[in-house]
Structure 1
Amino acid sequence: MAPKTESTASGYWYPDGDGATTVDVLNLLRRYRSAETAMRARTRASMRMNETDLVALRHLLREQRAGRAVRPVDLARVLDISTASVTALIDRLERDGHARRAPHPTDRRAGVVVPTAESDAEVRKTLGPMHQRMLALVDGLSEKERAVVARFLAGMADAVGEAADGDHAS
């Protein structure tokens, strides 16, 4: 193989290529994760919530849009916290005006947790513009490109999940 010269290093004889290296892709993934982490911190700060409370609120809003009732035990399961911890969490969400307790629509013995309209509006105001930019970016991809990105992200999630599962096996 010929030594790299100024002309070959610049791509004069061989195309530099538009593709990213494996390291470039992994660095971009890290950059995305850092940006998302910073965005979540800004959201928590602006809404004066901790991470668990924010995850709980997002779950409540998603389930409400899907027309599903959320019992405290459902929140405990989703968040992987104790029933005592979920009671404290619901107390905080209620105190801060993000959610309220209500009777279960079909089971008189049970209660549900419902996000408030004000909280839904605050989340939409806080995250709406960012979500619109993200949707526009994905909408700008071809069907083939979306399939590649989806396959890549699913594979990365599996790889990280397998690493975490393997870490606990020893």
Structure 2
Amino acid sequence: MSADRKTSSGYWYAAEGDRPPAVQVLEALRAYRAAESAMRLRTRDSMGMGEKDVLALRYLLEANRAGTPMSPRDLASKLGISSASTTTLLDRLSRSGHVARRPHPTDRRALVIVATEEADCEVRSTLGAMHERMLSAARGLSAEEAATVTAFLHAMAEAVEAVDETQLKEQIEDCRHPGHGAA
């Protein structure tokens, strides 16, 4: 393990009682993520769906609002799943009345997938009040605060997405085998 790495911490960022503003922001972000994760679980449970099912509905509703037809292949690509898994997912959502397969508007040989009006109503009734509360919180920000928060969240997304797989594997190996690779 390199000398600049800490061997212990006050649960990740700082020891108890030592909470600089940056750490407070990251802890607030962690609290938000935990609350959002719990909300997603409650939503899936109340709708009787899995994570991919709810995500598929979200993509289909977004495509519908944008007036963009979505094929099974498009949906598979967005979800990062195989065509066989997509067929299974669509069969399940079709049986539950959440999606319908329709002829493509310009290609008679193709199908598009659409969320049903019932699915849209169910999603709105399940998530509508929470989205209103979130929008209210965001509306409480000044234009300058909103710009700051937006820039911060984009920077956080970039920080989370920037993964050097080789370096990550080496760091994990160092943790599992201290002294490994030390000169």
CA drift at 1:167: 2.5
**Could you say which residue in structure 2 is the equivalent of 1:167?**
165
TM alignment of 1:98-109, pairs within 5 A: 98-109=98-109
SS in 2 for 1:89: helix
CA drift at 1:168: 5.7
SS in 2 for 1:84: helix
For residues 168 and 68 of structure 1, the distance between their equivalents in structure 2, rounded to whole angstroms, comes to 39
CA drift at 1:21: 1.3
1:63 aligns with 2:54: no
Taking CA–CA contacts closer than 8 Å with sequence separation of 6 or more, which of the two structures ends up with the larger relative contact order? Answer: 2
For residues 72 and 78 of structure 1, the distance between their equivalents in structure 2, rounded to whole angstroms, comes to 10
What percent of counterpart residues are identical? 55
TM alignment of 1:113-152, pairs within 5 A: 113-152=113-152
TM-score, scaled to structure 1: 0.85
TM-score, scaled to structure 2: 0.79
**Could you say which residue in structure 2 is the equivalent of 1:92?**
92
For residues 87 and 112 of structure 2, the distance between their equivalents in structure 1, rounded to whole angstroms, comes to 12
SS in 2 for 1:26: helix
CA offset digits 1:6-34 (Å, max 9, x no partner): xxxxxxxxxxxxxx611111111100000
Flag as ranges the 4+ runs of structure 1 deviating above 3 A.
none
Q: CA RMSD in A?
A: 1.4
For residues 127 and 65 of structure 2, the distance between their equivalents in structure 1, rounded to whole angstroms, comes to 16
